[in-house]
Copies of this chain bind each other. A is one copy, B any other.
């Protein structure tokens, strides 16, 4: 159960201390308070923490953090996290383990390269990694002592990875999923964080935002959103992961973190933005200009919100228009990237999405194409196609050969 103010004070006597002044300020900010509405537990934490500023973040025993995945985004997040664990040794065990699917790179193993030369030469070349980052070739060993597991793998690998982890995750561990997207199967739409929760029996939040990995790795300023709902079995402030712990773990001067509760909202926005980006590509390829691209983003944001509130009524409308994981990620994604590129080339060349995927993406897929199809199938089953004219227009253009010129008509009120 959630610790009360007096529990908190009692526990503070016996635990180590660390001063984190900015952290508490953030809790008192109006936006966060608004986002926290609805969770009494969290509001209580907030009130406690904001009582004295600068205040002290106290934990009973430092948390051990591990990262599952080592692509460019996985490695970047591991770098961010290592900087914070090193800086806050009373809150976190400084060494962060990162599971690497090991491979031989010109006669040397990737894990060895990372651990000796402190560079992920395969997925994040040119970026110096912290020395407290340990590349671990064993997924089981990476996970076993972790109090906080950060998932950051391509989402098609999730079922296999989760299978491997079964029985190797500490009971009561907490997780954050950096996977973008959600699963759509015959039972409906499902969050990937829910998949992790259900299969590993651990509470899982999410991290998402306007975060092109190379820009974050270079420490260009950006923002992100971490979503985490304090679970019913919360062990108490200082003994378990809460919003202040997550902010301390992820926030950097160049990587501003907002911590909210709305896991569903940020996951829905992260998946559906790619459908909108295809639409932006169409109007860009046709040379229709900035007004049209902005219109697609506006309509897209509206349909994302509608979809979110329809199928995840617990998600909050503010998440979509006010968080980095919402409107900002949509804007970044529509400014460039794989899905815009496919849409643009479809408009310019008249080729199909499938042809262009082969030609332009080396057999990789543009996630928006798959999501467009899944969303269509799901909305069709629900009889809701007409309520999402942009998603449906993108589907018809990508899968049924509808002419892009008809897009404005298809969107007409």
Task: Please list the residues of chain A having a beta carbon within 8 angstroms of any beta carbon in chain B.
Answer: 22, 25-26, 29-32, 209-212, 215-216, 220-223, 253-254, 256, 258, 283, 288-295, 297-298, 301-302, 305, 320-324, 326-329, 331-332, 335-336, 387, 407-409, 411-413
- Contact check, A329 vs B253: say whether CB atoms are below 8 A apart: no
B413 and A331 contact, CB distance less than 8 A? no
Q: How far is the CA of A323 from the CA of B322 in the complex (A)?
A: 15
User: In the complex, A254 Cα to B294 Cα: how many Å?
Assistant: 14
Does B294 lie within 8 Å of A221, measured CB to CB?
no
The 15 sampled A-B contact pairs (Cβ below 8 Å) are A210-B291, A215-B289, A215-B291, A221-B288, A221-B291, A222-B289, A222-B295, A223-B298, A253-B412, A294-B332, A298-B322, A298-B323, A301-B321, A301-B322, A301-B327
User: Cβ of B413 and Cβ of A29 under 8 Å apart?
Assistant: yes
SS of A interface (majority):
helix
- C-alpha gap A283/B256 in the complex (Å): 15
Q: Are B223 and A295 in contact (CB under 8 A)?
A: yes
B221 and A408 within 8 A (CB): yes
| Bound-state Cα–Cα, A408 to B216, Å | 14
Known contacts A221-B292, A223-B298, A294-B210: does B321 contact A327 (CB below 8 Å)?
Answer: yes
**B412 with A294: CB separation less than 8 A:** no
Identify which of B223, B331, B411 contacts A256 (C-beta below 8 A). Answer: B411
Of A221, A258, A288, A409, most buried by chain B (CB within 10 Å of CB) is A221
Q: Give chain B residues whose Cβ lies under 8 Å from the Cβ of A212.
A: 289-291
Shortest Cβ distance from A408 into B: residue: B221
Give Cα A293 to B324, complex, Å.
Answer: 11
Q: Check if A221 sits within 8 Å of B407, measured CB to CB.
A: yes
Chain B nearest CB, measured from A79 CB (Å): 15
- Of chain B, the residue at the smallest CB distance from A327 is B298
Residues A292 and B256 in contact in the complex (CB < 8 Å), given A327-B298, A328-B298: no
| B295–A408 CB distance below 8 A | no
Do the beta carbons of B295 and A328 come within 8 Å of each other?
Answer: yes
The 4 A-B residue pairs with the shortest CB-CB distance, nearest first, are: A222-B291, A321-B321, A298-B328, A210-B294
The minimal Cβ–Cβ distance linking A377 to chain B, given in whole angstroms, is 23
The residue of chain B having its C-beta at the shortest distance from the C-beta of A291 within the complex is B222
| In contact, A25 and B413 (Cβ under 8 angstroms) | yes
Q: Is the CB of B297 within 8 A of A408?
A: no
Most buried by B among A30, A323, A331, A412: A331
Q: Which residues of B contact A336 (CB under 8 A)?
A: 290
- A221 — which chain B residues lie within 8 A by C-beta? 283, 288, 291-292, 295, 407-408
A329 touches B294 (CB 8 A): yes
Could you say which of A30, A210, A216 has the most chain B C-beta atoms within 10 Å of its C-beta?
Answer: A210
Contact status A210-B295, CB under 8 Å: yes
Across-interface contacts of A291 in B (CB, < 8 A): 209-212, 215-216, 220-223, 332
Q: Which residues of B contact A211 (CB under 8 A)?
A: 291
CA distance A256 to B301 in the complex (A): 17
Whether B253 lies near A297 (C-beta < 8 A) is no
Question: Taking the nearest CB of chain B, how far is it from the CB of A329, in angstroms?
Answer: 7
Nearest neighbor of A297 in chain B, beta-carbon distance = B331
Contacts of A409 in B (CB 8 A): 253
Q: Which of chain B's residues have a CB closer than 8 A to the CB of A295?
A: 210, 221-223, 256, 324, 328
- Chain B residues whose C-beta falls within 8 Å of the C-beta of A324 in the assembled complex: 294-295, 298
